[in-house]
Amino acid sequence: MTTLLLNSLAAALYLLTGAYLIWTLLQGREPHRRHLLIAVAVALVVHGIGVYQLVALPRAIELGFFRVSSLLFWVINAVVLLSSLRKPLHNLFILLLPLSALGIIASLLGRNASGHPLVLDYTLASHVLLSILAYSLLTIATLQALLLAWQNHQLKHRHPTGRVRLLPPLQTMEALLFELLWAGHLALTLSIISGFVFLDDLFAQHLAHKTVFSLAAWVIYSVLLGGRHYLGWRGYTAIRWTLGGFLLLMLAYFGSKLVLELILGAV
């Protein structure tokens, strides 16, 4: 009951804060940044306690499809919140807060048991943490790319509405995107290395799908960052490569879980 109450409260707080943010932006006004971050922080604390009760087991964690989604949204929101103290990333909450609420609701209502709780030692824990951090950072980069695409579209078609003017300049938005991509690429690199070092066989049947798609995503992000550094890639080219890399990464992290837990598990 406590788990249900805490997670329901967190979802409600995310929705209320998201509604406030969207309403102020529709009015063409900048939301009160301090109030917004405090509201998100409160929701994040409640969500953190709730998701801990969902996934934590004695010396193990339960990472079923929907529960890991809720955990990832918590990490993503925490990273954006902390980053927003110094960088203009708080506009990403327009997308994040409603999605986080949906993730929490799904974790409560969806089929959650993976049947195989993950027993953690320090080596496996480090790999899991790096993987979650990499996915979170690259998810934030993808949301930033979507916001940048919308901003580009509005400016290109000469529709600079009040909402567009509330965003940082295009150059700042693009610089933030590549900062996130570099950080996410580093975390993904360390995650892949730790997997090869600490796991017995990354190309075993139950891991091969995840390994192949993770390596493919790493290549896409590497090409994108190389293109930025040597060829000055920007704009829609950077956006398309960012979205392509994230699609592969999402297939790596969630593709096998979707098939094994929700499709085959329901048969």
User: Which string of DSSP letters, residue by residue, matches 98-165?
Assistant: HHHHHHHHHHHHS----S--EE--HHHHHHHHHHHHHHHHHHHHHHHHHHHHHHHHHHHTT---HHHH
**pLDDT tens-digit map of 15-74:** 999 999 989 888 878 888 899 999 999 999 999 999 999 888 777 777 777 888 899 999
Predicted confidence at residue 161, as pLDDT, reads 59
Name the residue with tokens 């929700």.
Answer: 262
pTM above 0.75, yes or no: yes
- pLDDT tens for each residue of 75-121: 999 999 999 999 888 889 999 999 999 999 998 887 655 555 666 67
Name the nearest CA neighbour of 77 among 94, 63, 61.
94
Q: What is the pLDDT of residue 208?
A: 76
Tell whether 262 is covered by a domain: yes
191 has a pLDDT exceeding 60: yes
Q: In whole angstroms, what is the distance from residue 110 CA to residue 91 CA?
A: 29
Same domain, 95 and 152: no
Q: Is 204 in a helix, a strand, or coil? A: coil
Say how far apart CA 148 and CA 165 lie, in whole Å: 13
Q: Decide which of 49, 72, 102 is a domain's last residue.
A: 102
Q: What is the CA radius of gyration of the chain?
A: 19
Range of the domain at 32: 1-102
Q: Domain check: are 142 and 56 in the same one?
A: no
Point out the domain boundary residue: 102, 129, 156.
102
Whether 114 maps to a domain, the answer reads no
Question: Does residue 135 share a domain with residue 263?
Answer: yes
Residues 249, 141: one domain?
A: yes
Note whether 237 and 127 are same-domain residues. yes
**Do residues 64 and 114 make contact, with C-beta atoms less than 8 angstroms apart?**
yes
How many domains does the chain fold into?
A: 2
In a domain, residue 10? The reply is yes
Note the pLDDT tens digit of each residue in 130-148.
Answer: 999 999 999 999 999 999 9
What is the reported pLDDT for 98?
Answer: 95
Ramachandran bin of 235, using left for φ above 0, alpha for ψ from -120 to 50, beta for the remaining angles? left
Which residues are bridge partners to 56 per DSSP? 61
Could you read off the pLDDT of 223-253 as tens digits, one per residue? 999 999 999 999 899 999 999 999 999 998 8
Given this model, what pLDDT does residue 68 score? 87
Where do we find the tokens 């096998």?
Answer: 256
- Residues 157, 250, single domain; the answer is yes
Tell me how far apart the alpha carbons of residues 267 and 111 are, in angstroms, rounded to a whole number.
13
